[in-house]
């Protein structure tokens, strides 16, 4: 078998091409699993449910994608503008706000989309009776990318550790993304309407490249 491979007319093409075929198959598998994960996430979010009334102290025992309504009277603490957010084709920010209850327990809330002309100081609300929305996990920190800047009013991601250090507080395991009553001139976020990458199309694309390259390799080496 090895001697036959060594006698191939284009053996270097065979070996190098085989590496690329494996890479293309891996990329196809990655895109397909991303498609399945996104589909599962969409099904979980779109499943109809009634909000459950909870205290801030109960958020840690809740599940991600649970719809809740806060029970306590909350006081405003601090806000940031989350960069590079799009709504209906318009660039803007998400308004990220921290509130606390009378026990000094804190919750982070994504209030919704605001335009590029937004000033974080224009959206300060001293007290709120309750908020209704869906619980989400915080963003993961990428290996490469822009880091959040301490002291800035703008952030690139909802990074739990960074925001805790900035506000010198402890946050629960999930943050709340509002689905109603988001505030004056604040557009509530519909997660299902946000951009979804065509992972399934990319999966078929990479597997097509792998098949084509395999055919070329085999034909050049007269194996088919």
In this prediction, residue 204 has a pLDDT band, given cuts at 50, 70 and 90, of very high
Cα 187 from chain centre: 19
Mean pLDDT of the chain: 84
- Compute, in degrees rounded to 10, the torsion defined by CA atoms 20, 23, 27, 29: 120
Ordered DSSP codes for 100-158: E-TT--EEEEEEEEEETT--GGGG--SEES--EEEEEPPPPPPSSSPPPPTT-SEESS-
- The stretch 199-222 carries a mean pLDDT of 88
- Please check whether residue 163 is in contact with residue 98, taking contact to mean a CB–CB distance below 8 angstroms: yes
Instruction: Give the pLDDT score at 96.
Output: 94
In this prediction, residue 11 has a pLDDT band, given cuts at 50, 70 and 90, of confident
57 DSSP assignment: G
Residue 150's φ and ψ, nearest 5 degrees, are: -55, 140
Q: How far apart are the first and last CA of the chain?
A: 16
Query: Does pLDDT of 101 surpass 60?
Result: yes
- The stretch 172-185 carries a mean pLDDT of 90
> Percent of the chain having pLDDT more than 70?
83
| pTM (predicted TM-score) | 0.69
C-alpha–C-alpha distance, residues 119 and 101, integer Å: 25
Instruction: Give the pLDDT score at 28.
Output: 93
> Cα-atom radius of gyration of the chain, to the nearest Å?
24
C-alpha–C-alpha distance, residues 63 and 44, integer Å: 11
Q: Which residues are 85's β-sheet partners?
A: 92
Q: Is 179 exposed, middle or buried (0-12, 13-18, 19+ CB in 10 A)?
A: middle
Residue 92's φ and ψ, nearest 5 degrees, are: -175, -150
- The per-residue pLDDT for range 118-144, each reduced to its tens digit, is 888 777 666 677 899 999 999 887 766
């Amino acid at each position: 078998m090895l001697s036959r491979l060594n006698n191939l007319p284009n053996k270097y093409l065979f070996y190098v091409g085989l590496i690329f075929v494996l890479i293309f198959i891996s990329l196809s598998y990655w895109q397909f699993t991303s498609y399945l994960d996104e589909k599962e996430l969409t099904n979980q979010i779109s499943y109809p449910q009634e909000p459950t009334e909870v205290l801030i102290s109960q958020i840690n025992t809740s599940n991600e994608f649970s719809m809740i309504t806060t029970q306590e009277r909350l006081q405003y603490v601090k806000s940031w503008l989350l960069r590079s957010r799009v709504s209906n084709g318009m660039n803007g920010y998400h308004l990220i706000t921290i509130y606390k209850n009378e026990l000094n327990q804190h919750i982070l809330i994504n209030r919704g989309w605001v335009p590029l002309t937004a000033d974080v100081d224009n959206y300060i609300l001293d007290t709120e009776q309750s908020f209704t929305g869906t619980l989400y996990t915080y963003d993961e920190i990428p290996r490469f990318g822009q880091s959040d800047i301490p002291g800035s009013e703008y952030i690139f991601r909802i990074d739990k550790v960074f925001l805790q250090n900035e506000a010198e507080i402890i946050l629960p395991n999930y943050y709340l993304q509002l689905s109603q009553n988001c505030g004056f001139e604040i557009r509530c976020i519909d997660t299902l309407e946000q951009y979804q990458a065509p992972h399934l199309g990319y999966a078929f694309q990479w597997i097509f490249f792998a098949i084509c390259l395999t055919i070329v390799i085999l034909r050049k080496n007269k194996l088919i």
